[in-house]
Copies of this chain bind each other. A is one copy, B any other.
Amino acid sequence: MSTLYRRLADELRAGIANGTYPPGSRLPSESELAERHGAARGTVRQAFTVLAADGLISSRKGTRRLVLGPALRQSFSQLHSFSRWAASIGETPGVRMVELVRREPTDLEAERLELSPGTRIYHLTRVRLLSGRPVMVERTAYVERIGALVGGIAADAGDESVTARLEELGVVFAHAEHTVSAITAEAEDARLLGVRPHSALLRELRRTTDPDNRPLEWSDDRYLGDAVAFTVHNSVRASTLIRSSAPSR
* Partner-B contacts on A (CB < 8 A): 42, 49, 53-55, 58, 60, 66, 68, 72-79, 85, 89, 91, 173-184, 198-203, 211-213, 223, 225-236, 238-248
Contact = CB atoms under 8 A, between A and B. Distances in A.
A238 B201 contact: no
B229 A248 contact: yes
A88 to B, nearest CB: 9
Contacts of A184: 199-200, 225
B212 A60 contact: yes
Given A173-B236, A230-B232, A240-B240, 10 more contacts: A53-B53, A58-B174, A66-B212, A73-B242, A74-B242, A174-B235, A200-B225, A229-B246, A231-B244, A232-B232
When all copies of this chain in the complex are counted, the total is 2
Contacts of A211: 58, 60
Contact of A202 (B66, B68, B181): B181
A243 B228 contact: yes
A178 B234 contact: yes
B176 A225 contact: no
DSSP class of A's interface residues: helix, strand, loop or mixed?
Answer: mixed
Given A53-B53, A200-B200, A213-B58, A179 B230 contact: yes
A98 to B, nearest CB: 22
Nearest to A247: B229
